[in-house]
């Protein structure tokens, strides 16, 4: 599991013990991702996924944009928090890693809420503005290549 925080191991273990709401499917996707090259460095931590889910619910988001899918752990967390008619558009440069997550999305029954877009994210964002109009998303999560954050 990714440990990308400045918290000590003991503090992180405590937080996970008292506040992490986990289930078998999320755990399985994290473990599958951890076995991939760069998997533990690139996946969001379970606590981050839980926070993203909370933010989707608290904001009442119906349309979420995610830039950077990887294996779709954060995608799954946010899609679960959407209403049944909500949509999460997730962008990634390649379909190799999101294909892993797609199986988990389907198994969880949220695949109909996820619109995966493959290609250069900047071009995808331009297409989304043309397709949906400006300000068409309630929540945006950017977790892609850091060098292009300004472009996104």
User: Which domains are assigned to the chain?
Assistant: 9-148 (3.40.50.150)
Interval 113-127 mean pLDDT: 97
Percent of the chain with pLDDT over 90: 75
pLDDT category at 38 given cuts 50, 70, 90 is: confident
- Given a cut of 70, is residue 139 above it in pLDDT? yes
| Band (3; pLDDT cuts 50, 70, 90) | low
pLDDT(47) > 80:
yes
- Write the CA distances from 50 to 22, 43, 88, 93, 129, integer angstroms: 9, 13, 16, 25, 28
Q: Where do runs of H (alpha helix) occur along 60-146?
A: 73-81, 98-108, 121-132
The helix (H) or strand (E) run that includes residue 32 is: helix 24-34
The answer to whether residues 133 and 125 touch, using CB atoms and an 8 Å cutoff, is no
Q: Global pTM?
A: 0.90
For range 77-98, the mean pLDDT: 97
Is pLDDT above 60 for 31?
A: yes
């Amino acid at each position: 599991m990714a440990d990308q925080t400045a918290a000590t191991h003991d503090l992180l273990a405590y937080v996970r013990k008292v506040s992490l709401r986990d289930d078998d499917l999320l755990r399985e996707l994290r473990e599958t991702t951890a076995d991939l090259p760069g998997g533990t460095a690139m996946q969001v931590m379970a606590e981050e996924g839980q926070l993203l889910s909370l933010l989707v619910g608290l904001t009442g988001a119906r349309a979420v944009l995610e830039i950077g899918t990887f294996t779709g752990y954060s995608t799954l967390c946010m899609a679960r928090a959407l209403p049944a008619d909500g949509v999460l558009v997730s962008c990634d440069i390649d379909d190799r890693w999101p294909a892993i997550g797609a199986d988990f999305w389907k198994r969880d029954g949220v695949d109909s809420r996820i619109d995966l877009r493959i290609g250069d994210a900047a071009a995808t964002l331009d297409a989304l503005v043309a397709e949906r109009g400006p300000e068409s998303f309630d929540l945006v999560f950017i977790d892609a290549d850091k060098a292009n954050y300004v472009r996104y």
